[in-house]
Structure 1
């Protein structure tokens, strides 16, 4: 390699033109998009699906509507229907918010429904046991 000094700026009062030396380096420069191997280039295709599936929990809400005495199932069903409406309009953010609320209400309705069922079985059994 030639390591000669390269002059980029000449003194102002010299009156001589700028002297640029061409330096050749024996380095390979990686150029983006150019394959480095003899294998043929491959391409990757990414399919972006614009419609994301947002579950609306309508079936669970409908089940909790009839099985829960606290009306949480009915409120959850209302939010599920709102989520489905938002999804049909194309508002996925709103649909996700309503679905999240419906899911939370369904979980609480299911827990309270199970507890109420257990209490409706245990309390009469305890009362019958106490009267004997």
Structure 2
């Protein structure tokens, strides 16, 4: 049975002459990342122009939307947090490389 679906079988008493069964397929809980851990890491270590902190705020908003079953809002906030995290990492790495180049060239 796939992980996404749970199967519930409802039926009457088990009589050998006639048995009526009903199968209800219920979707399981959808796992959607909210990028809180990545945002927290960026807020603490790679906080270029506060992008990590802003990404953390959007991640928390995404988690809050997921708790009230607003998957569209949660997906939107998670997507924004993901892009902010990517920008924070890229800009921080570029600044680190530029700092090393400037330090080495002036030494």
CA distance in 2, matches of 1:63, 1:53: 21
| Unaligned residue ranges in structure 1 (runs of 5+) | 1-44
- 1:61 alignment partner in structure 2: 39
SS for the counterpart of 1:104 is: helix
The worse-fitting range, judged by mean Cα deviation, of 114-123 and 49-58 is 49-58
Q: Is the 8 A contact 1:68 1:112 kept in 2?
A: no
The aligned runs of 1:1-132 (5 Å cut-off) are 47-66=25-44, 67-128=46-107
Q: Is the 8 A contact 1:77 1:102 kept in 2?
A: yes
Tell me which protein shows more strand as a share of its residues.
Answer: 2
CA RMSD of aligned residues (A): 1.6
Larger Rg: 1
The two structures have a TM-score, normalised by structure 2, of 0.72
CA distance in 2, matches of 1:57, 1:123: 33
Per-residue displacement from partner, 1:78-111 (whole Å, max 9, x unpaired)?
A: 0000000000011011000000000000000000
The two structures have a TM-score, normalised by structure 1, of 0.59
Q: Which has the higher contact order (CA 8 A, sep 6+)?
A: 2
Tell me which protein shows more helix as a share of its residues.
Answer: 2
Q: Is the 8 A contact 1:65 1:73 kept in 2?
A: yes
The number of residues matched between the two structures is 84
Deviation beyond 2 Å, 4+ runs, structure 1: 45-48
| Unaligned residue ranges in structure 2 (runs of 5+) | 1-22
- 2:5 alignment partner in structure 1: none
